[in-house]
Amino acid sequence: MKIIVSVKQVPARDSSLRAGSDGKRLDETDLTYEMNEPDAYALEEALQLKEKLGGEVVVLSAGPDRVAQTIREALAKGADRAIHVQLNDGTQLDPLAAARLLAKAVEAEKADIVLTGLQSDDLGYGQTGVIMAELLGYAHATIVMEVEPQGDHVRVKRELEDGWFQNVLLPLPVVLTIQSGIKKLRYATLMGIKKAKTKEMKVISSGELQAEFATGLTIERVYVPQRNKQSQIFSGDAKRAAHELAEKLKFEARVI
């Protein structure tokens, strides 16, 4: 079983974010990065499938040089090798352009299962996996909670809305987008970190893949949203803020 896991590097969850000077993109100075959380669960699912069935886990990521750090983390956790599609710093891809690049890289590998997170925590389009499947001609399922291979098929449990679920049988090869939180994430061991240094990391420039790069949308402006609701905000000393809040809850909102 050959499994490819497509992971994205995104700004760390607690980053304080602001628009850059052109007002059209994120100010990336002083940001730290981490593996997109849903992708970390996709990686975990891939590693557990490999432990059960044998085979190979290949980690795939597109981005500038800094992405190598996230790839090494995936290798340290147990992925066998990696493909880094190198982009220039600051390249912004819409989901179609990103999926075109990644699909080209997958095409050359002939995977049985491609896993990725259901969405990214940065841009949040939630589309890359689905578009990859369309471009590759693979079947797909989204918001997947469980993966059960059955010969040349895979049976997956999908999450629907309002606490409903559904099992779906799909033929291989397949793209699955994985829901966050479905398994416990492993940590990289010291041995894993050491071994990762000897694993293959193939770097491909985006140009080599000859994917169509035209962007389907333009971002006109990035900004901090204005608050619509009249909120009363207290800050500063915690005891004082708590006192003011309790007064409001008693005398204004009349809820305590």
Partner 1 sequence: MSVLVVMEQRDGKLSRMSFEALAAGQQIAGILDVQAQAAVIGYSDNAKIAGVERVFALDDPLLTEYTPDGYTAAIEQLIQAQQPQAVVFPHTYQVRDYAPKLAARLGKVLISDVVAVKAEEASPVFVRQLFQGKLNADVKAASEQQFVSIQAGAFRVSEAPAARAPVERFPVKLDASQIRSKPEAPFREAQRSIDLGAAEVIVSVGRGIKEKDNLPIVEALADVLGAELAASRPICDNGWLPMERQVGSSGQTVSPKVYFAIGISGAIQHLVGMKGSKTVVAINKDENAPIFEAADYGVVGDLFEVVPALVDEIKKVKA
Residues 142-201 that bind partner 1 (CB under 8 A): 142-143, 159-171, 180-182
Residue 230's beta-bridge partner residues? none
238 is a contact residue toward partner 1 (CB under 8 A):
yes
Contact track, partner 1, 42-61, x by CB under 8 A = --------------------
Buried b (16+ CB within 10 A) or exposed e, 141-163: bbbbbbbebeeeebebbbbeeee
Least distance (Å) from partner 1 to the CB of residue 191?
Answer: 26
- Span 7-26, contacts to partner 1 by CB under 8 A: 11, 14-17, 19, 26
Using CB under 8 A, which of 32, 53, 213, 234 touches partner 1?
Answer: 234
How far apart, in whole angstroms, are the C-alpha atoms of residue 174 and residue 158? 14
Site for partner 1 contains 91 (CB under 8 A) = no
Q: Any idea what DSSP says for residue 175?
A: E
Answer yes or no whether residue 62 interacts with partner 1 by CB under 8 A: no
When asked if residue 235 is in the footprint of partner 1 (CB under 8 A), the reply is yes
Q: Which residues pair with 157 in a beta bridge?
A: 146, 167
Least distance between partner 1 and beta carbon 21 (Å): 15
Q: Is 127 in the site for partner 1 (CB under 8 A)?
A: yes
The Cα 204–Cα 218 span in angstroms is 26
Helix-helix angle 128-136:95-107, to 10 degrees: 50
Q: Tell me the backbone φ, ψ of residue 113, rounded to 5 degrees.
A: -130, 130
Contact with partner 1 (CB under 8 A): which of 39, 73, 94, 112? 94
Nearest distance in Å: CB 61, partner 1: 19
Residue (38 or 78) nearer to partner 1, CB = 38
Residue 178 CB, nearest approach to partner 1 (Å):
12
Dihedral (Cα; 114, 116, 119, 124), 10-degree rounding: -90
Q: Is 194 exposed, middle or buried (0-12, 13-18, 19+ CB in 10 A)?
A: exposed
Segment interacting with partner 1, rule: CB under 8 A, options 1-9, 46-54, 57-65, 141-149: 141-149
Tell which one of 135, 147, 178, 209 touches partner 1 (CB under 8 A): 135
Give the shortest CB-106-to-partner 1 separation in angstroms.
15
At residue 218, what is the residue type?
T
